[in-house]
Homo-oligomer: A and B are copies of this chain.
Amino acid sequence: MILVRGVSYLVRDADRVERDVDVLIDGARIARIGSIDARRLAPGTTVLDGQGRALVPGFVNAHTHLYQSMLKGRRDDLSLVDWCDAVTFPFVRRVLDDAWHHGRQEVGRLWSMLATIEMVRSGITTFVDMDMNLDGVIAAWLEVGIRGVAAMTLVDQWVPEDVMVSLNETKDDTVRLIETWHQVPKESPLVTVFLGPSAPFTCSEGLLRWIRERADEHDLGIQTHVSETAWEVEQSVSLTGRTPLDYLESIGFLASPITAAHGVHLTEGEIELAARRGVAVIYNPKSNMKLGSGIAPIGALRRAGAAIALGTDGAASNDLLDPFEEMRCAAMLQKVAAQDPTVLGARDVFRFATEGGAKACRLDSGTIDEGRLADVVLIDLGGAHLFRLTDEIVPALVYCARAGDVETVVINGRVVMKDRMMVTIDERAVLAEAKRVGERYA
C-alpha cells in the first residue's frame, strides 16, 4: 500500500481540487481519498509526503514514436515529408539493415528506456507508441513499470521499399503481438495493443479492411495519422477522391471509434464526422508547430463535441516528451491563432492531457477517484518559478510548472520514481548503454 499524506492540492481532475487530504493506494488502484489514519495501515506501507505538493492524475501522451528518442535535435528546418527522408528513414534503414533479427530488440529496448525515463521524469504515466517489431520496446515498459499502448504500425504504400517490412511478415507479427502482449497483466494492464495503420494514404484498402477485422475480432483500439499536413490531404484526394477521414468512413473503417493523430487539416464535414463517430483527435501542437504542419481546429472540434487528447509526437519533431510544455503550447497556439485568449484555457488542456488521453487509450485512469488505476504524480510546488499568491492551482500547473518539478511518480500502484530518482532501473547504466549501442545506428 501507498499512503500519500497531507496532499496540499489534490487535483482529482481539471475541475475538482481538494486541499489537505490523504490518498491511499492499494494494489494497482486508488483505494480511498479522505482523512486516513496512518497508524491503522498495514506495516510496510510506503508513506509519501504531500505537503507543499500537488497530486495529479498521471499525464497521458496519446501519440508518440519512442524510437525518435535516438534522433533528437537533428534538424529543425524540414517539413514532414522532407524530414522523414532526412531524419527518420535513414535511421530505420540502418536498424532494419543491420539487425532485423539480432540487434533490433536490443536497440529497441534502449530507445524505449530513453523515452520512458524522459516521460516518467516529466509526469507521463501512459503513452501510445506507434512503431513495429515491438518486443524489445515493450519489455522496457515492464522493466520501467510504465503503462504503454503498443500501436503496431502497418503500411503497404508510399514508404520507400527498403524501409518497409514485407506485409505478410507484418501481419504475422501483428497477430503474434496481440497474442503475446495484449492486456499484460489482465486485471490492470501495463501493456495493451492497438493497431496502427500509419495513415490512410499509406495503406491499401485491403490492408485497412484487414486491420478493421482484426480490431473487431480482438476488441482492440486503432490509432492512425489523419490530415497532419495539407500535402497528405492532397495525396488522399488524388488516391481515393476523398479527404482522409471521409475516406475512412466510406470504407466502414469508423464503424467503431478510432484515435486520429493530428487532424490539423480536417474539413468542417470531417469535424462533424469525428464527433459523430466518436473519433478521438490527438492534438500535437509542438510537433505541428516545428514541422510547420498547421494549427489543428481544436475550437471547432470542441464545439462539435469531439473527443480530444494531447500528444507530443516523436522526440525528433518536438523535441521533448513534456506534458507541461505541450499543455502550454496547446492553449497558447489556439489563443494566438484566434487572436482571442478565451478560446482554450488551462482546465481544457489539463483535461486533454489526463482524462482525454485515458479515454483515448481505453483505460480506467485519468482522474483521481476511488477504484481507478493508481497512476498519480506528485509535483513539488516549492520552486521560485512556482511562487504564487493565489490558490488557483490548475492554471499554475499548466503555465508555470515544469517537468523538473515532478518529484514522485506512481504507476499501477508502484513507485517508479521517488524524489526525482528512478527506482525501477539504473538510469545511468541505461544512458551509457544507449550511447554505446545507439552509435552503431547513428
Contact = CB atoms under 8 A, between A and B. Distances in A.
Interface residues of A, number: 75
A181 to B, nearest CB: 24
A77 interface: yes
A342 interface: yes
A404 interface: yes
A340 B77 CA distance: 8
A442 B438 CA distance: 52
Nearest to A325: B325
A329 B336 CA distance: 12
Contacts of A346: 76
A19 interface: no
A76 B396 CA distance: 10
Nearest to A346: B76
Contact of A390 (B74, B118, B325, B333): B74
Contact of A336 (B69, B333, B341): B333
Interface in A70-120: 70-79, 83, 114, 117-118
Nearest to A396: B73
A392 B86 CA distance: 15
A312 to B, nearest CB: 11
Contacts of A149: none
A232 interface: no
A336 to B, nearest CB: 4
B72 A342 contact: no
Contacts of A333: 289, 333, 336
Nearest to A70: B389
Given A342-B77, A399-B319, A388 B72 contact: yes
Interface in A353-399: 382-390, 392, 395-396, 398-399
A386 B117 CA distance: 11
A189 interface: no
A389 B71 contact: yes
B400 A73 contact: yes
Contacts of A75: 395
Contact of A389 (B76, B404, B439): B439
A318 interface: yes
A438 B389 CA distance: 7
Candidate in A73, A75, A333 with the most chain B CB atoms within 10 angstroms: A73
Contacts of A297: none
Interface in A423-442: 427, 430-431, 434-435, 438-439, 441-442
Nearest to A395: B73
Contacts of A114: 384, 387
B294 A400 contact: no
Interface of A: 69-79, 83, 114, 117-118, 121-122, 230, 286, 288-295, 318-322, 325, 328-329, 331-333, 335-336, 338-343, 345-346, 382-390, 392, 395-396, 398-400, 402-404, 427, 430-431, 434-435, 438-439, 441-442
